[in-house]
Amino acid sequence: MTALCMVAFRMAFAQANSSQGGGDSRNGDTLLPSASFEVASIHPDPPSPDGRVSMQVGFTPDGTFTAHGVPLKTLISMAFGVDELQVSGGPDWLTADRYSIVAKADAATQEQLPKLAGPEERIVGQRMVQALLADRFKLTAHHESKQLPILALVVAKSGPKLQASTPGDTYVNGLKDRDGKGHPGMMRMGDGKITAQGISMDGLTKQLIRQLHLIVQDKTGLAGVYDFTLTWTPDHDHDSEGPGPNSSNGGPGIASARDSGGPSIFTALQEQLGLKLESQKGMVEALVIDHIERPSEN
């Protein structure tokens, strides 16, 4: 099957973690606590005749959430700010079935959402989608920790090569939010490139998880936020293999990418950011599905 994946989710769900039912005060309970969708239309998407997969997810400026061709497991991972690798339990149709969703925010939410800064808006968006999943799919879930193999993001022997963000920086020549202004906490991802402004190491690890499809944890000890650009040569057949336990040079991903004429993501991290990925074991937070049902009728 050829996968055609077009993900343009306005709220960039993976940037922020939220707990079940809306999270705690650190994760958005105090931000527009009454924010909700007024109406939502949910329909199963039939398989594409040519076997291609097209996925689009997004929020419009007025708070309308749209998703097309999305497996429910993908939507859950976005709404709770975890990778799909961290979602466990539930029936097989979580990944097999695909849905189209159009959910419109109520008038009060539409009025208030544009007044929020980008990171706050993302958190509220996550919470709204969590509530939608609970209402229409009867989702209940809990968090638990498990010891699993991970890739640890650590500082390389050469030391970090990161530029600390300047407090109050408006990023005149940087990434711009919907209001036309630059803010910290913004990141742009492309094929073989990450551009970040005001991003923590935890934020970087979340993007590495999405790129490598492996669990990555921040073990750098770097507590600040940074501006950086990371570029590498994508190797879709090997990048996800990561550094092997007996590898001295970072594993098969590095060798394969070098053969193709450019650095792997593992080499790029070390050469460009002064960071390194090491195979370890660690406690991983998992979102465990306790109960879920196919959606109620519209």
Q: Give the pLDDT of the chain (298 residues) as one tens digit per residue.
A: 333 333 333 333 333 333 333 333 334 567 888 888 999 999 998 766 665 556 666 677 777 888 888 899 999 998 998 888 889 999 999 999 999 999 999 988 888 887 877 677 888 888 999 999 999 999 999 999 988 899 999 999 999 999 999 888 888 888 887 677 888 888 888 889 999 999 999 999 988 988 898 999 999 999 999 999 999 998 755 454 444 433 333 443 434 444 556 799 999 999 999 999 999 999 999 999 999 999 876 7
Residues 6+ apart with CB under 8 A from 83: 14, 77, 206, 209, 210, 213, 215
Residue 267 to residue 274: CA distance in whole angstroms: 10
**pTM > 0.85: yes or no:** no
The letter for the amino acid at 216 is V
The b-or-e profile of 18-57 (16+ CB within 10 A means b, else e) is bbbebbeeebbbebbeebbbeebebeebeeeeeeebebeb
Phi first, then psi: give them for residue 183, nearest 5 degrees.
-135, 155
- Provide the β-strand partners of residue 163: 227
